[in-house]
Homo-oligomer: A and B are copies of this chain.
Amino acid sequence: MAFTTKATIASFGGQLLKLSHKSAVTGTDMALNLYLPPQSSTKAVPLLMYLSGLTCTPDNATEKAFLQSSASARGLALLFPDTSPRGLDIPGANDAYDFGEAASFYIDATRAPYAQNYQMESYLTTELPDLVFREFAGKLDPSRLSITGHSMGGHGALSLYLKYPGKYRSVSAFAPIANPSRCPWGEKAFSGYLGDDREEWKKHDATELVKGWKGPLNALIDVGTGDNFYKQGQLLPENFEKAVKDAGIEGLELRYQEGYDHSYFFMATFQHDHVNHAAKFLGL
């Protein structure tokens, strides 16, 4: 077993596994949680990967977003990766909540001192799924994968989906950072991880990436109108929506949820719709 099992927790008829492994890509130990629904004891089920927001470990969403309830009902597995490598001795990496540790923005950094370990795009698209599908062969179906996420993880879900056509069957996002090149969080992260060339930033920005998308988008996005980060212009879902519309792309459902904030209460409320959205495209 490539994973160390830290806990096995009975949950909604299935099992929540708290795992860790030594990543060759990040050069660190990486934590993750994997929820196996009851259906996986008799057949290979599809997998929905959930990317968390700033400050989070894999545990926050596992404990507070309630996705397992719907995943159990629909028969899909959930994968909760971590938000960055941890435990590195990088000066300044723990000074702010929105840069460095727990704030990787799910890209491959090109600038020192982050380039060596902050290779989250490669980790999430190759090493981690390969390992999970290999170690849980028979329980997980490697041909059926979708992606979702919250806030920074919504950026991660949308941008990875758009960068790797065909890899994921569908995408959804809760309050995503939808145009990171144009918001303070994204500007700080991209300049720190990628440098100051804004043309490079576009390669990691969902609102730019979507302009080249072919076919239907299979995307669901929820944003709360009471979300302070939305009000502060950190999320900019309207820019993403306009880019989709201007490119004539079908298949985006963007919903503004009246009065909802940026918290896990918002996600717990609407997770059911996001799991059902994925399930529809995962053949369930």
The chain A residues found within 8 Å of chain B, CB to CB, are 9-13, 16, 63-64, 66, 68-69, 224, 226, 257-261, 263-266, 268-269
Interchain nearest-CB distance for A14 vs B (Å)? 9
Q: Decide if A268 touches B12 in the complex (CB within 8 Å).
A: yes
- Grouping DSSP codes into helix (H, G, I), strand (E, B) and loop, the A interface class, with mixed when no group exceeds half, is mixed
Q: A69 contacts which chain B residues (CB < 8 A)?
A: 66, 69, 268
Q: Decide if B11 touches A265 in the complex (CB within 8 Å).
A: yes
Q: Pick the contact of A268: B11, B258, B263, B266 (CB < 8 A).
A: B11
Q: Decide if A9 touches B269 in the complex (CB within 8 Å).
A: no
Q: A12 contacts which chain B residues (CB < 8 A)?
A: 268-269
Q: Pick the contact of A226: B10, B257, B264, B269 (CB < 8 A).
A: B10
Q: Return the chain B residue nearest A64 by Cβ.
A: B63
Q: Decide if A268 touches B66 in the complex (CB within 8 Å).
A: yes
In the assembled complex, the Cα of A68 lies from the Cα of B63 at a distance in Å of: 15
Q: Return the chain B residue nearest A12 by Cβ.
A: B269
In the assembled complex, the Cα of A265 lies from the Cα of B59 at a distance in Å of: 12
Q: Decide if A265 touches B10 in the complex (CB within 8 Å).
A: yes
Q: Decide if B9 touches A265 in the complex (CB within 8 Å).
A: yes
Q: With contacts A63-B64, A64-B64, A268-B66 known, is A261 near B10, CB below 8 A?
A: yes
Interchain nearest-CB distance for A142 vs B (Å)? 27
- Central interface residue in A10, A63, A226, A266, by most chain B CB within 10 Å: A10
Q: Return the chain B residue nearest A72 by Cβ.
A: B269
- Chosen A-B contacts, 24 in total, with CB atoms closer than 8 Å, are A9-B261, A9-B263, A10-B224, A10-B226, A10-B257, A10-B258, A10-B260, A10-B266, A11-B265, A11-B266, A11-B268, A11-B269, A12-B268, A12-B269, A13-B269, A63-B63, A63-B264, A63-B265, A64-B64, A66-B66, A66-B69, A66-B268, A68-B268, A69-B69
